[in-house]
Amino acid sequence: MSQTETVAFRMRLHEGQADEYQRRHDAIWPELDALLRESGVVEYRIFLDEETRALFAVLTRRTDHTLDALPDHPIMKRWWAMMADIMDTNADQSPVQVPLREVFRMQ
């Protein structure tokens, strides 16, 4: 069985887009879900701070993941294009992600 690691990052929604963001994720494409799992995602959770519109993502992945190849995948590019109107994005329409440093873990 593969080892796993957890990473966390912050993204940001545009004003008034929380409900739309939730709606789109409630209807996540089966092919995107499959792609993420095949790439090594074990668990992926996103939390919203409604006051600041900050999204906090916590992603557990296999250490032998292939997530670095996702930016070139057509399914990922389509998802990013669909989400670009409701959140901060880079020039390639990928979400602006700010890595978060772990400062505490209780086990």
Active site residue: 14, 25, 65, 73, which one? 25
Is 25 in the active site?
A: yes
Q: Where are the beta strands (DSSP E) in 13-83?
A: 41-49, 54-62
Residues 13 and 6: their CA atoms lie apart, in Å, by: 23
CB within 8 A of 94, min separation 6: which ones? 71, 80
Q: Which two tokens stand for residue 18?
A: 């929380």
Active site residues: 25
